[in-house]
Structure formats: structure tokens, C-alpha cells
Structure 1
Amino acid sequence: MQLQVTNSPFNKEQTEYLNLLLPTLTETQRIWLSGYLAVSQNANASFQAEAELNATLEPVESKQPLNHVSVRDVTILYGTETGTAQMLAEDLGEKIKEREIEVNVSSLDDFKPKDLKKVQDLLIITATHGDGDPPENAISFYEFLHSRKAPKLNDVRFSVLSLGDQSYEFFCQTGKDFDKRLEELGAERLYARIDCDVDFDEPAAEWVEGILQKLDESKTLDLNEGTRPLNVGIPEEKSVYSRTNPFQAEVLENINLNGAGSNKETRHLELSLEGSNFEYEPGDSLGIYPQNDPELVEEIISELKWNPEESVLINKQGERRSVREAFLTHFEVSRLTKPLLVKAGELFHNDELTTFLNESSDDEIKTYIDGRDLLDLVREYPPKDVVPEAFIGILRKMPVRLYSITSSYKANPDEVKLLIGSVKYPGFRQEFAGVCSGQCSERVEPGDTLSVYIHRNPNFKFPFDPNTPVIMVGPGTGVAPFRSYLEELEELGIKGKTWLFFGEQHFSSDFLYQVEWQRWLKDGVLTKMDVAFSRDTSEKVYVQHRMREAREELYQWLQAGAHLYICGDEKNMAKDVHQTLVDILVDQGNMSQEAAESYLSEMRKQKRYQRDVY
């Protein structure tokens, strides 16, 4: 029911805000809010009665009030690559502040290890990167904690929230390592570690609720302090859309930027954000909830001989959808993972699958998983007497896809632009496309909508000081955030020293945004640009080769305080570029390898060396 002035005690402005807020609340949030309001009302009545009683009594001197608050300070540290862990840490910090508990929120890199002995309650929220490695802004703390310099932590209580992806072998490894090491150092576990897959909302909320409950249990209310007045005012207009309530953005343009003869397909998408109240900055990403290939979904349903319109439960909040919609938009069906295979072995009652799982090595299971999807699984090991809702219950939620925004909000209000490379994978039956890139390249047309939200990336932020030189390295679609940055510089009228290294396969067919770079070079928004087209010469030339050629000037820029940004492929490009930087520092700065690494590490701590790699 919509609130109105005529059916509630609220004025028009209040009803408008409440009508925006209430539909976004989960069932858990509604229950908590109703309890909070009830407790607040009772507490206010109690404090008022106590105040009236105290007014009739003679004042008594005391060094500390009765029922003194004995609350431990809380330290929240986060390790993140994309900003998700930071978002969760800051949200938890606000919830703890509301309980009038002292809390400090910091990245693991910014926290001074020597202060670890002073910590009372330590909460760590961390992602895992690559092959079980800590995120870049957690490396220093991770190394300290696992060194012989780490102190005993007998007076510390702790808990860890791990973020990861079950499709990787070392799932949530960094969080597991922190959890184990803190226990080894004598710290007491405040609340059990929770490991989150890409669909982290529900397990993360469970962990937060558990932490808050433990903190509430250890807090003694100080009735003598009274209540603090609520700061009631007109809230600033914010978007009601978010990761858990995505906005349906209309597709305005969907253009293939590659020319004839290219081996690639790179889509430039323009989406309308009108009505979303979204804002973003250069370096931020757009999250897209993709849809599975409808043909694959229909084949799976047909193979299982299910009614596609049968209603099934899709989450703990009690939402229900048809089998077809659940497969199409809510769950991953295009790839298999070992946890899914194990759950299928328990559910399918298929003797062949059970035997395969019991008798196969990890390597054999990995080989089976590689290139197979859900259709392959149910064809090869058909489930027996499994109802749709039970089957849906073992599937992984559809992972969101993050794409670096390639436009400036200030230059394009109510619009967002993306650069998406179409990805193809060898499959067991046939070659198949990436879920989101395939949807965008094959099935999305102007007028269609995509489910989106803005994903902040606080670890990839640009300076807007004309006196700060900026070096950008972005081959292929990695150039997206740099286009956003330069477009914003142009909009703001800022002209400083900017240098872009761009690489692709062919000059004639793959020079993404060529006209814009040339215009910005002419107008002075972009100072320098070096390009590498790997397939146009007998020997392949990449961005790191261009960096080596310009090593003398590049070193001078670094010495002058330049900020350095790298965006793109992690496994090859980012590692090669990093090693090139080390080599340049050794060659031009007369440094040892160790000193060069230390130089880059210090740049990273100063936020002068930032990477957005995937």
C-alpha cells in the first residue's frame, strides 16, 4: 500500500521519501526497523522517567557514571581490488557507529602494522586475487602478519569475511590465511569466518548481523548518558537503485568498433540512466546482470522434461519465479564448478556420477569441468526424481559482470558508455560466447534494457590537478577508464601532462576511438600517445616495448611525481608492464631489482601506482 497524507500521520514530503525507501527493504530489514522503532520508543520513555526522578535528587559527585559503558573499540580493515570489500567495510562501520561504539575503518595497506597490538576487536573483510594471492592493497599487511615480526594477539578478538569466486581453485584463500594466522597469534575468534562466492549479499549480511549481535552482547548500556537527539532533516536525493535493486537501463547505441578484417569484436554501448539518480567518476565500473542464452535455457528445460512455467523459490527472501526465468536471469548455467558437481552427486541419485566423483582425482574433475555447461552435465548424468526447486537450490547465483566506464558523467549526465570485448571459449560441444559479452554482441539492440548498477572503484582514482603528470597504460578494452578520464578533463577545461600507451592487433581495424585520441592530442587534453599494433609487423610489438623505447622520458615523468595507471589483462600484460617498469627503474635510476620493486611499492602506497586488472 502506498503511503499518502490522507492515510498516514506524515506530511507530503515524508510520504514521498518513505514510498521510495520501503519497496527497497528486504524482509529482514523491515523486521529490524520495526524492532528498532519499538525499542527506541521504550528507551525514550525510560530516559524521560529517569530524568524526572533525577531532578528530585541531590547531585552526587562520581568519578564515572553508574552503569559505565565498557565497550571495546572496533577496527575494520579491508583488502580489495574492485572496491566491494571497502563498500562492505564502510557500511559495517556506519552500523557500528550507530551503536555508539568507537570504530576505525581502513584499508589493510594504510593500517600501520605496529598498531596491531593496540587493536581490541579486529574485523577483516578481504577479497582474494589471482591464484590465491592477497589484493594489492593487502600485500604489505599480509606479509607482516605472516612474518616473525607479527606480535602475539592474546587480547584481540577477531572475525574474517572472505570474498571470492568458487570457480577458482584457491577460493577465498586470503581470508582463510588471515583467519588461520590470527588464531595462531593467540587472538580469540569473535565470530566464525564466512566465505562468500560472487553472489555475496546473503552470506555477507549473515556475517554482519552476527558481528553486530556479538558487539551488542558485549556492550553495557550507560543509562546515565541519556539519548542523543536524532538529526532529522531533508535527506539529499539519492538513488534507490543498487546492486541488490538494479536499474533497467535502456540501450541507446550498440556499435562494433572493429573494422573489416579484424579478429575481434569490440562493442561500444551507450545506456540511458535517466531516472536512476546514478552518478559516477572516472575509474568506476558499471555492473551488469546478464541473461543466459535463451536457446541453452530451453535445451536444459527440455532435457529435464520440466514445465518451464512451474514456480520455484529463488532466494531466502521467499521470491518465486518460473523455471524459465530462474534459468534465464538468476542462475549460472553456462559453466560448471567443482562445488556444483559435488552437490549434484548428492542430489542426482545417479550411480555413474557418484562413481566418477569418488574415483576421480582433482585433475580429472578439472578436465571434465573445463568447457562443459549444465546441459552437458544433465545429459551425461541425468538426475533421477529431482524436483525443479531442489535442482535450482544447488545452482550458483548469476555472477554480475563489471565493466570499466568509458564516459564522463559530467560530460554525459544521465548516460553511461561501455567498451565490451566479445569473448569466445572452446566448449565441449561447440565454441560458446561469454554470457554477458555474448548477450551484448548477439542479442542486445537499441531499445532493449540491461539490469545495471554503479560500482565504485576507490582504488582507481585519477588526479584533477594540472600539475600532476598522469601516465596511462591500456591495451584493448583496458583503455576504457582513460577515455572517461580524458573526457572529464576536457569537460572541466583542465590541461596537464597526460601520456597514453595503447595497444591492439591492427592499426587499420582495431584502433579503438582513434579520432577522439587525435582530437585530444590536437587540443592539448592528451599530451603524448604511444601505440603498439602487434600484428602489423613481423615481430609482435606490445605496449611494454613502447615503454622501453621511451624509458628515459618515462623515468623523468615518474621522478616528477607522475601517477601511473594500468588497466587490462592481468596474467600477461599487467605482469609484463610491471616488469618493464622495474627494468626502467634499474636502467635509468641505477637501482637494484629490490630497490626498484620497493620504489613501485612506495608509489602504490602513495596511490601513485594503481591497477585495474582482470
Structure 2
Amino acid sequence: MSASPVTATPPFINALLGEDQGALLLKLVGGLDTSALHWLSGYTAGLAARAPQASAVPVTPVPVAAPAAPFTIIYGTQTGNSRLLAERLKHQVASAGLTARLFRASDYPVRELAKEKLLCIVISTQGDGDPPDDSRGFCEFILGKRAPRVEGLRYAVLGLGDSSYPRFCEVGRALDVRLAELGASRLLERADCDVDFEPVAKGWLDQAFTLAREALAPQAPVAATVVPMREPAAKASAFSKEAPYTAEVLLNQRITARGALKDVRHVELSLAGSGLEYAPGDALGVWPHNPPELVALFLSELRLDGDAPITRDGRTLPLARWLGDALEITKLNRPFLERHAALSGSAALREVLEPGRADAFRALLAGHQVIDVLRAHKATWDATELVKTLRKLTPRLYSIASSPKRVGEEAHLTVAVVDYTAFDLRHFGAASHHLATRTAGTDPVRVFVEPNERFRLPEDGDRDVLMIGPGTGVAPFRAFVQERAETGAKGRNWLFFGEQHFRTQFLYQTEWQEALKQQTLHRLSLAFSRDRAQKVYVQHRLREAGRDVYAWLEGGAHLYVCGDAQRMAPDVHEALVDIVSTHGGKRREDAHAWLEALREQRRYLRDVY
């Protein structure tokens, strides 16, 4: 069979090769039949693969005969860890010449669940048993009555969570059980990952990949090598969570007044030359060091030698270095408590760990640090076992409080310092103490950027924006207001801010006043809870301005909430339900649905912790 003649050079060929080269190409292939064209495509692809400098465009193996989307991977995440693991699994599958499709839970078309044959869900649990904000609709569908029967589905669930909470990995567990109830069969047993997720996740992902490859093997395509007609992606920064950038501290300034109940710092860090880029809404990961005085107290309480060399995971450090730089010694978690209960023989501690004592367990975690348990329930620890039992130190994420369009190669943070006395001891937060004690120009900080695509300003600058951020939850909204000013956005900006006292804890007061003057901030609603006998919080200010709040939302405004997940965020949500019900004339269940629709439209976004 002869090939159809081509008389004009397609624009994309001219764009890629230029007019002269494009004309030569068409002259060469014009008389070739189908077989010759196929041979030529393979020959030129092989030449590209062997070229020593194929720098302009990467050469990529692509399956040419694979069935459409045989393997579906869905992730739900609050901090990005589930996304990273899901992307890793997809890469493994693609590298084997198999096709897979990857969805954030909020983007997955749930109507397709009934057609799935092979499914993997990687999902975190936020706080004490809640799904990530990007997964609420997905979870409600699967756990609800509308979920279809899925007898032909094979699935696997990987849960991420924090064993500091009683309902550890609850969301992954619930989805795993529910899919089995709907008739699906497990491809692989569920695994639950703690904050240090890599040890469990790596083995589970490798096993999931192996089983998926076996399941898809009869359908496996023959891989061909093609050269994609696109420019290579911009070079990413060399710095990441695993390889953080050492940032210089430019400014470390307390922004609460003397005598305030809280020490809140404004910290400015230099990212100059790092290649790190961020957008308003993203977070900066900070790798902390534990307070030296706490390390000394640990060693004294346990009567251990800080210079003793201890090996864990093939790495040998003095015990004091493990406690100071590599292990979690401020936050409690269940595995450590279970081992300490066994070593101490404490009946009281064992009782708190029993099933059904979630409230007591929750209270223990909220009101105690590791040193408190060591002092209250005496035990003899071997240094090697201590190092192997304590959880690895993990980075803390802080919402970035600046727009790069305003500050250039810098990142600003708003940090509430954890520093209090309990049980006759001074207690610290690892990261906040680390940041609060850094001296500008002298003490660097190891950092990386954690993108948060689910907390972005609207692309349309004419849209209005409502921002609710009490306390340090105001940080990303400082970035939002800066960004909107620098880009000339025409939409209005309305900020709800709350704290304890007006005179001592009005964070960024002069900046907000200047923004109001410049009309880059159009409304500012304030709630200071301890300046009067009756406490007033941001949810009260929302209800007071309910008519206007509803009018803004009805008119297309985007709504953002940042801050405490346990009390503030639920209270704010209930206030919004009341507002929509009262001023929108809706029943409460319809008001809930109306807000859920805003969430699905990505007009109601939360960054809560």
C-alpha cells in the first residue's frame, strides 16, 4: 500500500525543524510506503537513542500497544507525602512498559470505579481520623450508599498517618474494609505507615509493583522508543526534602509585644542561588535540631553516655548526636510508649494504651512529652535499643508568609514558639525553638519547598478572595495579599484575623493598615478573644458579617481557611453553614451541599494542621 502524499509542511514540523529541513523531510518520505515509514521511524529513533548528546529533548520509552489505563493509582494528601509515593509507583509501572494513570482523589471521576480492574490507593489520615481535604468527596462516595459493587476489582491500599493519634491511619483502614465489602479482592494487604513512612512504604510499593506487573503481564505492550516533540522541562532545583538547602537567616524578629502570652517570630530566610521556587500557598519544610538542654536532660535521666557510638540503619553516631540531630524526642508516639510500658512495668501506662482508651491516650499525647514519661515511669533503657525505638526526626512544614514577586529569592515564615513549663520542667517545640534561637547571619537553617497545589489563588485576578487565618494561620494570607498587589489583581481581598489581645498580638498590624490604605486589602475583620469578658473568635465575626460573606461567595469569591484543624476549622465551617442557611434561604443539609460544591470547584480551600 502506498502512503498518501503530503503536499504542505505541517506547522509543527516547521516549528521543530525549520522550513528548509521540514521540506527536505517531506521530500524524503513522500514516496515511501507504510512498511518503509515504520522502518524509518524505528531507525531514526535508534539513532536518537545512541546519540552522545541528546540534550535538547529526552528519549523516552513509550508503550505502543498497551490497553487503555489498566492500572489506576489514586492519592489523597495533606502534606504531599502520599503524592510522592503514588508518583513513585506510577514511575515503576511506566518503566516496565506498562501504562498507569494517576489521580489526585479530588480529580478522580468516581463514576469509573465500577469499571476498574486494578486499583491502588495511597492516602493519608489527617489528625485524628479525618481524610485530607482533597479526598473528602472521594471518601464520602466510597464509604457511602452510592458506591457500586466492584466484584471484578483487585485493589491495594497504603495508609499514611501519625501514631501520635489514637485513630492512626483510620482513613486507609476504612477504605480498605469498604472496598472488600463492595466485593473487591485485595491485590495486597494494606500497610500503615507512620510519620517516618519510608521503611514500610518502600517494601510495600515494590511488592505492589511486582503484583501489578504480574496482573498486567498478559496485556503488556511492546515498548518503542520515540522522541517527544517538546522542549525539555526546566531544570529543577538540586535541593529537596532528602537534600535540603542550607539557608542563611536574614532576620529573626519577635512580632508579639513584650508581655504577650505567645512568642511569635517573623523569620526571613535567603534562598539566593538555590534554585528553589515557590508560589503563595506553598510551605517551607524545616529540618530542626532538638534543644541541647533537652538532650542533656535525656542523658541525665537515663544515665547514658552521650559519647557512646550507636549504629542504626548502617549509620554510626554518638548517642548525643542521635538525640540532638536525628531522633524525635519531643513528640510521643504509640510504639515508644508500648516499649516503655514494658520496660517500666507501669500498670498506669499499660492501661492508657489499652483499646477503648482513646480519650486517655489522646490526653497523654497532648499534655506530655517524651521526657515526662521517662520521669514519671522509671525504666532502664539500653542506648542501642533507645536509638532503634525512638522515631526518626522529621521536618516541620510552615506556610510561607511571602510572595516571591515581592521579596525575590527569600522566604518568610511566621513561627509560634513552643516554650512552656509543665511538671516542673521547661518544654520546647523542636522546630520552633530551633528557628527562634537562630541568629541572623550566623546560624543557617536546612530547608526545602513543599508545594501545595490545593491552596492556590484563583487564576482569574478579578475574583474576590475571602481569607480566614487566626494566629499564625495568617501566614499564607500575607503572601496572598503581596501577590495580588504585585500582579495588579482587581478582585477584592477580605481578611478575618483573630488572636488573644489587640495590643500585644496583632500580627503584622502595620502591614495590614498600609494594605488597607493602598486598597490591596479591602476589608479586615478582627477578633481578639481575651480583650473582653465574652470571648470573640473569627467564627463570630463571620456570622456578624454573614450577609456580606454570602454575597461575596454567591458572586464567585474564593474562600480560604488556614490554622488549627481541631477546633478553629470545624467552628468556622459550622459558621459558614449557618451563613449559607440563613442568608441563602437553604436547609442545613442543602447548605452543607452548597459548601461541598464550593470545595469541589476549588473555591473553598483549607490548609489546616
In 1: Cα distance, 2:98 partner to 2:397 partner: 34
- CA shift for structure 1 position 512: 1.3
1:334-413 matched pairs, under 5 angstroms = 334-345=330-341, 348=343, 350=344, 352-353=345-346, 357=350, 361=354, 363=357, 371-379=367-375, 383-384=379-380, 387-413=382-408
Cα deviations across residues 208-244 of structure 1 (Å, max 9, x unaligned)? 2222222233343889945314669866321122112
In 2: Cα distance, 1:367 partner to 1:580 partner: 27
2:284 maps to which of 274, 286, 306: 286
With over 3 angstroms needed to count, the CA separation of the structure-2 counterparts of 1:103 and 1:520, relative to structure 1, is: same
Match of residue 122 from structure 2: 125
User: Does residue 160 in structure 1 map to residue 160 in structure 2?
Assistant: no
In 2: Cα distance, 1:286 partner to 1:263 partner: 26
Match of residue 18 from structure 2: none
- The answer (yes or no) to whether the contact 2:76–2:83 under 8 Å persists in 1 is yes
Match of residue 17 from structure 1: none
Match of residue 181 from structure 1: 178
- CA shift for structure 1 position 382: 5.3
- CA shift for structure 1 position 145: 1.9
- The answer (yes or no) to whether the contact 1:495–1:525 under 8 Å persists in 2 is no
Match of residue 99 from structure 1: 96
- The answer (yes or no) to whether the contact 1:72–1:121 under 8 Å persists in 2 is no
With over 3 angstroms needed to count, the CA separation of the structure-2 counterparts of 1:159 and 1:429, relative to structure 1, is: farther
TM-score in terms of structure 1 length = 0.82
Match of residue 505 from structure 2: 510
- CA shift for structure 1 position 546: 2.2
User: Does residue 554 in structure 1 map to residue 555 in structure 2?
Assistant: no
Q: Which residue identity is paired with 1:102?
A: T
| Mean CA deviation greater in 198-207 or 326-335 | 198-207
- CA shift for structure 1 position 450: 1.7
Match of residue 270 from structure 1: 268
1:202 maps to which of 188, 199, 202: 199
- The answer (yes or no) to whether the contact 1:334–1:435 under 8 Å persists in 2 is yes
1:75-94 matched pairs, under 5 angstroms = 75-94=72-91
- The answer (yes or no) to whether the contact 1:335–1:371 under 8 Å persists in 2 is no
With over 3 angstroms needed to count, the CA separation of the structure-2 counterparts of 1:263 and 1:427, relative to structure 1, is: closer
**SS of residue in 2 equivalent to 1:227:** strand
Match of residue 576 from structure 1: 571
With over 3 angstroms needed to count, the CA separation of the structure-2 counterparts of 1:599 and 1:426, relative to structure 1, is: farther
Match of residue 531 from structure 2: 536
With over 3 angstroms needed to count, the CA separation of the structure-2 counterparts of 1:140 and 1:410, relative to structure 1, is: same
With over 3 angstroms needed to count, the CA separation of the structure-2 counterparts of 1:381 and 1:208, relative to structure 1, is: same
- The answer (yes or no) to whether the contact 1:77–1:105 under 8 Å persists in 2 is yes
Provide the identity percentage.
38
1:125-524 matched pairs, under 5 angstroms = 125-220=122-217, 225=222, 227-229=224-226, 236-315=234-313, 318-345=314-341, 348=343, 350=344, 352-353=345-346, 357=350, 361=354, 363=357, 371-379=367-375, 383-384=379-380, 387-424=382-419, 427-442=422-437, 446-524=441-519
Structure 2, gaps ≥5 residues long: 1-41, 47-63
With over 3 angstroms needed to count, the CA separation of the structure-2 counterparts of 1:255 and 1:482, relative to structure 1, is: same
- The answer (yes or no) to whether the contact 1:69–1:219 under 8 Å persists in 2 is no
- CA shift for structure 1 position 604: 0.2
- CA shift for structure 1 position 102: 2.7
In 2: Cα distance, 1:73 partner to 1:213 partner: 15
Cα deviations across residues 527-556 of structure 1 (Å, max 9, x unaligned)? 222222223334322222222222222211
- The answer (yes or no) to whether the contact 2:93–2:213 under 8 Å persists in 1 is no
Q: Which residue identity is paired with 1:214?
A: L
Match of residue 107 from structure 2: 110
| Mean CA deviation greater in 288-297 or 500-509 | 500-509
With over 3 angstroms needed to count, the CA separation of the structure-2 counterparts of 1:466 and 1:380, relative to structure 1, is: closer
With over 3 angstroms needed to count, the CA separation of the structure-2 counterparts of 1:115 and 1:388, relative to structure 1, is: same
With over 3 angstroms needed to count, the CA separation of the structure-2 counterparts of 1:465 and 1:368, relative to structure 1, is: closer
**SS of residue in 1 equivalent to 2:106:** coil
Match of residue 29 from structure 2: none
Match of residue 59 from structure 1: none
In 1: Cα distance, 2:208 partner to 2:251 partner: 45
In 1: Cα distance, 2:391 partner to 2:440 partner: 28
- The answer (yes or no) to whether the contact 1:300–1:374 under 8 Å persists in 2 is no
TM-score in terms of structure 2 length = 0.82
- The answer (yes or no) to whether the contact 1:272–1:414 under 8 Å persists in 2 is yes
Aligned-CA RMSD value: 3.0
| Mean CA deviation greater in 166-175 or 137-146 | 137-146
- CA shift for structure 1 position 417: 0.4
Q: Which residue identity is paired with 2:207?
A: G
- CA shift for structure 1 position 142: 2.0
Cα deviations across residues 344-372 of structure 1 (Å, max 9, x unaligned)? 355x4x5x348963798564666666644
**SS of residue in 2 equivalent to 1:240:** coil
Cα deviations across residues 285-336 of structure 1 (Å, max 9, x unaligned)? 1111222111121222234343323332343xx2332211110111111233
**SS of residue in 2 equivalent to 1:167:** coil
Cα deviations across residues 64-86 of structure 1 (Å, max 9, x unaligned)? xxx98679711111222233323
- CA shift for structure 1 position 376: 4.3
- CA shift for structure 1 position 414: 2.1
- The answer (yes or no) to whether the contact 2:166–2:362 under 8 Å persists in 1 is no
In 2: Cα distance, 1:509 partner to 1:402 partner: 26
Cα deviations across residues 388-407 of structure 1 (Å, max 9, x unaligned)? 22321111111321111001
In 1: Cα distance, 2:421 partner to 2:73 partner: 43
Q: Which residue identity is paired with 2:335?
A: P
- The answer (yes or no) to whether the contact 2:150–2:182 under 8 Å persists in 1 is yes
In 2: Cα distance, 1:221 partner to 1:233 partner: 35
- CA shift for structure 1 position 380: 5.3
Cα deviations across residues 387-430 of structure 1 (Å, max 9, x unaligned)? 42232111111132111100112222321100011234553342
With over 3 angstroms needed to count, the CA separation of the structure-2 counterparts of 1:493 and 1:368, relative to structure 1, is: closer
**SS of residue in 2 equivalent to 1:220:** helix
In 1: Cα distance, 2:522 partner to 2:134 partner: 30
2:590 maps to which of 573, 595, 598: 595
With over 3 angstroms needed to count, the CA separation of the structure-2 counterparts of 1:70 and 1:417, relative to structure 1, is: closer
How many residue pairs match? The answer is 546
With over 3 angstroms needed to count, the CA separation of the structure-2 counterparts of 1:221 and 1:153, relative to structure 1, is: closer
1:37-52 matched pairs, under 5 angstroms = none
- The answer (yes or no) to whether the contact 1:164–1:198 under 8 Å persists in 2 is yes
Structure 1, gaps ≥5 residues long: 1-43, 49-66
